[in-house]
Every structure is written in C-alpha cells, then in structure tokens.
Structure 1
Amino acid sequence: MSEAATLTPEVTWAQRSSSSDPTKNHVFLTIVASDVPEKDLKLDLQPTKLSFKGTSTSKKVTYAVDLEFFAEVDPDESKIINTGRDIELVLRKKELKEEYWPRLLKDSKKMHFLKTDFDKWVDEDEQDEQPDDEDYMSKMNPMGGAGGDGGFGGIDFSKLGAAQGAGGLGDLGDLGGEEGGESSDDEDDDMPELENEEDKPAGEASEKPKIEEVS
C-alpha cells in the first residue's frame, strides 16, 4: 500500500492586540486539514514556532507545515479545537503591545498557502468596536497544564475533547512531541502587508433579479 501524498495545508490567520489585557492579545490560526483522527495527528507548539502533521482519512493525504512566528507566543495560555473540518488555535501573544504584528511569520517572504482570515479580521484601530471573542474561545480546549512539559508534546487532546463534551468535533489525541525541525522555504508562511489585505472585499452581495409581472 503506497504512502499518502504529503501536502502543505492552507493556513489562515487574524489577530487582536492589547497593551494591557492579555486576553485580547492573540493570534487566530486555522490549519485547513479535514478528517484527521488523533492517531494520525502530531502538533508541537513552542514559543517561537509550530509544527503540524496529520493524515486525512477522507482525502488520503498527509498534511504537514512548520511555522516560525514573527514574535513569541505563550503555549500555556493558548487554545485549540479540532472541528473535523480544520484545526483552530488561538495563540496568546507573549508581549503585550498595542500594535499589530506586521505579519504572522518571521520570514517576510510571501507564502502561497497563507491567507488572511477575513471572517475574524478586524482593523487595528477598530478592535474596540468589535464583539468580544470570549464566546468563541470558550468552546476551545486550553492547551496549558495538560501535558506538564511546557510544550505540547505528550498532551492527550482526546481527554480534553471528552472533557469539553464536544461530540462530533473530532478528538485531538496522542499529540506527539517531536519537533518538525526548522521550516523549509515552502513551509514558512508569510502574510502580505496588512494594509493590502484589508482592502480586499470579503464578498459582495448579489442583487436579487426583478420579477416581471405577467398579465
């Protein structure tokens, strides 16, 4: 039986920032990899990088990506959930700062698989006008304190999923602690400048056709 092909998954992101409130100082990160069971998934989050690898049972492919962040995050205060369609994370930024990160990755090179998550994106100067993110994050599993090793190696996310009562969301279990090593050029993802991304319309509503009255 041949091994599954290895692909780089689409990764989307958005962010919030605060110089005083840690709970409003984070990165939304989504790895689009559907139907990845816990036995075929490994995720290692460190303060400066994330390594992900998982095999999709429906698409028969293995997804793998390594991300080296623009700045440090706090793994113990980050959250995760496996929705079955993708892996969603909220990464707590380590440094409290009013300004947004200029990009997600340390490398400034644009990466084809990295995109802005316009469903979550808010302009830096409009953050206070947006609804709180607590409701969204309350449905996620806390990453800190479950493994006891400071990183994500050895954390049993299947137990976190059971504790959350998230039936049908797919469990993230037996996450391996192995690091993916340094990111390759293909796997280091970089965001375009925020100003350019913000100008893109999220989608335009189509007009309803006029109904002609027939006599």
Structure 2
Amino acid sequence: MSRHPEVKWAEREDKVFLTVMLPDAKNPKVNLGPEGTFTFSATGGAGDLEYELKLDLCDKVNVEESKINYGLRSIFCVLVKEQKKWWNKLLKEGKPPHYVKVDWDKWADEDDDTSAAEPDLGGMDFSKFGDMGGMGGMGGMGGMEGMGGMEGPEEFEDDSDDDELEASKPEAAKTDDKPAAAEKTEAA
C-alpha cells in the first residue's frame, strides 16, 4: 500500500508552484501531462515506504516550459499554465485531499500587485537548488551589504562568538530617567 506525501501549492496568473515534501526521496519520478495531470512516485522515510500521488490539475499546463528540481528535502515544481489566467482551485474536481495544503510563503492573491509579490524563480539555477544546505550556497546573494547593517557571508566568518552573543542580548528595561546613550557609556 502506498502513501501520499504532503504537497504545498501556490499560484500566480501564469504559474503554479508545487512542492512535494518528502525528505531523502529515493528514485523520485515526476510526470506532467499537457492536460494537467501531475503524477509523483518515490520511496522514502523509515523502511523505504512507497509514496505515490496523482493530481488532475484545474487546467492545461505547458510541459516544455515547466521546471522540476529534485532537492534533498523536497521536489519543487514550477508549472507554467497554458493560458495566463487565475484558477479558482488547484484540482479539476472535488475538494483537495488532506495532504494538499496552501503554500502561504509563495501565495499571491489575484488582486495583489504580482509584479512586487512575484518571486523571481524564472532565472533560478535549478541545478544548484539542492546544494543550499550551508552558507556556501548563499554566496550568490548579492546586495546584502546595503541592507540596514547586514553583513555579507564573508564577514560572518570573521565575527567571534562573543560578538554574536552580545548583539543578540535584549536591551535591559530602563528604570530611571537617564538617556539611553548615557546607559551604554556607563555599561562599557
């Protein structure tokens, strides 16, 4: 008897994002049909249990433009819709099963400004997507120097543990009328 993995989904006017949550999946197979049929099978978990899933999506998809990434913790799919329009639901018929959930991190409503809310996934290098386990995978995140005092990954390596702990301490509550700058000078 096969099981169903958890699936998260979100949409934009032109895409549907599906994430199959199955850590350490072995032999994952994903098939996407132009009529909107999405199938998945793999083994995983303790005892190498079989997982299968078939979703009949609400409308047609463009198989050639769609992308699939096999990661260590999940299988991430960007399904390009055949027609740019919002779907009323994910599946053609019925209520989604209990293992299909909304991915609120990627969700955008139809009336939202999609140009500002749209994550830029089109230019993502899917061959490197599964290698983001450590800080080394963040090396391509440019522009962090100008983000309100945040430091780039190279600068984190030079910080000592003491500085990091001190920066994360909550500020003590003020009990008298001294200015905050005076408290910091006296504490040093």
Q: 1:15 to 1:140 in 2, by over 3 A?
A: farther
Q: 1:167 to 1:12 in 2, by over 3 A?
A: closer
Aligned residues with identical type, % of pairs: 33
Distance of 1:137 and 1:102 partners within structure 2: 23
User: As a proportion of its length, which structure holds more helix?
Assistant: 2
Q: 1:166 to 1:9 in 2, by over 3 A?
A: closer
Distance of 1:126 and 1:211 partners within structure 2: 41
Structure 1 position 7 matched with structure 2 position 3: yes
> Residue 125 of structure 1 is aligned with which of 108, 111, 115?
111
RMSD: 2.9
One-letter identity of the residue aligned with 2:2: T
Q: 1:131 to 1:108 in 2, by over 3 A?
A: same
Residue ranges of structure 1 left out of the alignment (5+ in a row): 18-24, 142-163, 170-208
Determine helix, strand or coil for the equivalent of 1:139.
coil
Structure 1 position 104 matched with structure 2 position 90: yes
Identify the residue that residue 30 of structure 1 maps to in structure 2: 19
One-letter identity of the residue aligned with 1:62: E
Deviation of residue 6 (structure 1)? 2.3
Deviation of residue 213 (structure 1)? 7.4
> Residue 124 of structure 2 is aligned with which of 127, 131, 139?
139
Distance of 1:33 and 1:42 partners within structure 2: 12
Identify the residue that residue 68 of structure 1 maps to in structure 2: 56
One-letter identity of the residue aligned with 2:25: V
Which fold has the larger relative contact order, with Cα–Cα distance below 8 Å and residues 6 or more apart in sequence?
1
Distance of 1:118 and 1:12 partners within structure 2: 9
Size of the aligned set, in residue pairs, is 139
* TM-score, with length taken from structure 1: 0.56
Residue ranges of structure 2 left out of the alignment (5+ in a row): 133-169, 176-188
Deviation of residue 34 (structure 1)? 1.2
Q: 1:103 to 1:30 in 2, by over 3 A?
A: same
Deviation of residue 65 (structure 1)? 0.4
Identify the residue that residue 183 of structure 1 maps to in structure 2: none
Structural mapping, 1:170-209, within 5 Å = none
* TM-score, with length taken from structure 2: 0.63
Q: What's the CA shift string for 1:171-197, capped at 9, x where partnerless?
A: xxxxxxxxxxxxxxxxxxxxxxxxxxx
One-letter identity of the residue aligned with 2:37: K
Contact kept in structure 2, 1:79 and 1:140, CA below 8 Å: no
Contact kept in structure 2, 1:81 and 1:140, CA below 8 Å: no
Determine helix, strand or coil for the equivalent of 1:14.
strand
Q: What's the CA shift string for 1:72-119, capped at 9, x where partnerless?
A: 00110101112211101000000123xx20100001224111111000
Contact kept in structure 1, 2:30 and 2:40, CA below 8 Å: yes
Q: 1:51 to 1:167 in 2, by over 3 A?
A: closer
Contact kept in structure 2, 1:16 and 1:127, CA below 8 Å: no
Contact kept in structure 1, 2:108 and 2:114, CA below 8 Å: no
Bigger radius of gyration among the two: 2
Identify the residue that residue 189 of structure 1 maps to in structure 2: none
Deviation of residue 138 (structure 1)? 2.7
Distance of 2:70 and 2:47 partners within structure 1: 17
One-letter identity of the residue aligned with 2:3: L
